[in-house]
C-alpha cells in the first residue's frame, strides 16, 4: 500500500484534483521507514514507528489551508489519527468523520485478534487507547464517536462489532445500505455529520467497493458497494457545505499489474472533487 501514492500520481491523481479545483497546492509525498519485520507488543505491533509516522503526518497537515479541500492519498487507513491531529490544530471547531470501509478498524489492543494497527486506527482516533493519545501529544479524542458515521461494513470482528454497536457512532452496514438504497442513506449520513461537526472528513477505504469491482486492495471483501454509492455520499456531503477533507486509502498497486484499477480510482477521485464542489 505504500506504493499507492506514487502509482496514483502516475496515472493522473494529482492532475484531476488540480484540474477540478479553483486553487491548488501540492504538499508532496511523505516517506516512512519500511516495516520489514513486525516489532513490539504483539497486540499493538510496530507502535513506535507508528507514533513517529502519525506525528509526521500531523506536522505536514498543520499548515493546510482551511479554505481548500484537503486530499490525502494513503497508504493504509492508519493515517487517520495523523490527519485529524494535524488538521485539528488548523481548522476551527469539531471534526466529523464519515468512514467508508468493509472493516470496522475499531479493535483496540484489548480486542485485536492480530495486533495489526490498520484494524485499530479508527478506535485510536476516537481515543480508545489513552496511552496512544498521550504519545502523539493529544489530550483528548481526535474525533468524538458521536460525530462518526461508519458506512458499508461487512467484515467486523465479533468484539469489535459489539463495541461499534455500543458506541454512539452511526453504523450502517452494507446489508442495510443495499436494502434501503444509498440515496436516502447518503442524505441521512450528511445530515448526521453536518449537525454534529463543523468540518467533515470523508474517508474512503477502497475495500468499501465490492471485491469484484476493486480487487486491488489488501483485504478484498465480497458483498460490497458500487462506485455510484461513493458518489452519492460525496454529493450529499458536499451539499452540506462541511466536507473539508478526503482520504483515499488501501489501494495495493502490486495487485494491479495492468494499472486498470489505479485508473478507476483516479476516475472516482475526479468525480468526488468535481461535481457540485
Residues that bind Mn ion (CB under 5 A): 101, 103, 205, 207
Retrieve residue 211's grid coordinates.
Answer: 471485491
Instruction: Give the rounded distance of the alpha carbon of 172 from its chain centre.
Output: 16
Which is closer to Mn ion, CB of 64 or CB of 77? 77
Cβ-closest position to Mn ion: 103
By CB atoms closer than 10 A (0-12, 13-18, 19+), residue 257 is exposed
- C-alpha–C-alpha distance, residues 144 and 169, integer Å: 9
Sheet holding 170-173, edge to edge: 70-73, 243-249, 199-205, 95-100, 148-153, 170-173
In whole angstroms, how close is the CB of 97 to Mn ion at the nearest point?
Answer: 15
Q: Contact 196/146 with Cβ under 8 angstroms?
A: yes
Which is closer to Mn ion, CB of 101 or CB of 256? 101
Which is closer to Mn ion, CB of 151 or CB of 189? 151
Which is closer to Mn ion, CB of 95 or CB of 118? 118
- C-alpha–C-alpha distance, residues 29 and 4, integer Å: 11
- The secondary structure of 171-236 as a DSSP string is EEEHHHHHHH-HHHHHHHHHHHHHHH-SEEEEEEEGGGB-TTT---BSS--SS-B-HHHHHHHHHH
In whole angstroms, how close is the CB of 223 to Mn ion at the nearest point?
Answer: 14
In whole angstroms, how close is the CB of 207 to Mn ion at the nearest point?
Answer: 4
Which is closer to Mn ion, CB of 122 or CB of 193? 122
In whole angstroms, how close is the CB of 76 to Mn ion at the nearest point?
Answer: 9
Which is closer to Mn ion, CB of 101 or CB of 252? 101
Which is closer to Mn ion, CB of 103 or CB of 128? 103
Q: Contact 227/209 with Cβ under 8 angstroms?
A: yes
Retrieve residue 253's grid coordinates.
Answer: 498497486
- C-alpha–C-alpha distance, residues 236 and 81, integer Å: 24
In whole angstroms, how close is the CB of 221 to Mn ion at the nearest point?
Answer: 7
In whole angstroms, how close is the CB of 62 to Mn ion at the nearest point?
Answer: 27
In whole angstroms, how close is the CB of 178 to Mn ion at the nearest point?
Answer: 18
Q: Is the dihedral of CA 3, 223, 179, 105 positive or negative?
A: negative
- C-alpha–C-alpha distance, residues 98 and 118, integer Å: 17
Amino acid at each position: 500500500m505504500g506504493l499507492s501514492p506514487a502509482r496514483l500520481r502516475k496515472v493522473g491523481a494529482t492532475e484531476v484534483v488540480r484540474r477540478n479545483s479553483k486553487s491548488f497546492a501540492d504538499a508532496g509525498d511523505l516517506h516512512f521507514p519500511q516495516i520489514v519485520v513486525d516489532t513490539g507488543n504483539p497486540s499493538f505491533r510496530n507502535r513506535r514507528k507508528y507514533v513517529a509516522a502519525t506525528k509526521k503526518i500531523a506536522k505536514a497537515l498543520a499548515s493546510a489551508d482551511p479554505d481548500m479541500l484537503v486530499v490525502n492519498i494513503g497508504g493504509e487507513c492508519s493515517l487517520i489519527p495523523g490527519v485529524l491531529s494535524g488538521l485539528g490544530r488548523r481548522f476551527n471547531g469539531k471534526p466529523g468523520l464519515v468512514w467508508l470501509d468493509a472493516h470496522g478498524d475499531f479493535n483496540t489492543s484489548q480486542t485485536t485478534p492480530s495486533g495489526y494497527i490498520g484494524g485499530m486506527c479508527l478506535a485510536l482516533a476516537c481515543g480508545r487507547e489513552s496511552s496512544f493519545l498521550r504519545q502523539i501529544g493529544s489530550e483528548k479524542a481526535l474525533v468524538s464517536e458521536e460525530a462518526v458515521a461508519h458506512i458499508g461494513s461487512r467484515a467486523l470482528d465479533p468484539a469489535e462489532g459489539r463495541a461499534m454497536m455500543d458506541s454512539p457512532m452511526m453504523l450502517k452496514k452494507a446489508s442495510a445500505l443495499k436494502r434501503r438504497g444509498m440515496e436516502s442513506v447518503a442524505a441521512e449520513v450528511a445530515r448526521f455529520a453536518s449537525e454534529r461537526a463543523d468540518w467533515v472528513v470523508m474517508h474512503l477505504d477502497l475495500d468499501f467497493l465490492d471485491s469484484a469491482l476493486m480487487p486491488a486492495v489488501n483485504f478484498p471483501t465480497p458483498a460490497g458497494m458500487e462506485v455510484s454509492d461513493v458518489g452519492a455520499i460525496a454529493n450529499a456531503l458536499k451539499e452540506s457545505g462541511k466536507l473539508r477533507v478526503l482520504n483515499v486509502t488501501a489501494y495495493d498497486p502490486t495487485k494491479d499489474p495492468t494499472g486498470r484499477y489505479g485508473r478507476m480510482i483516479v476516475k472516482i477521485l475526479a468525480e468526488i472533487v468535481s461535481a457540485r464542489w
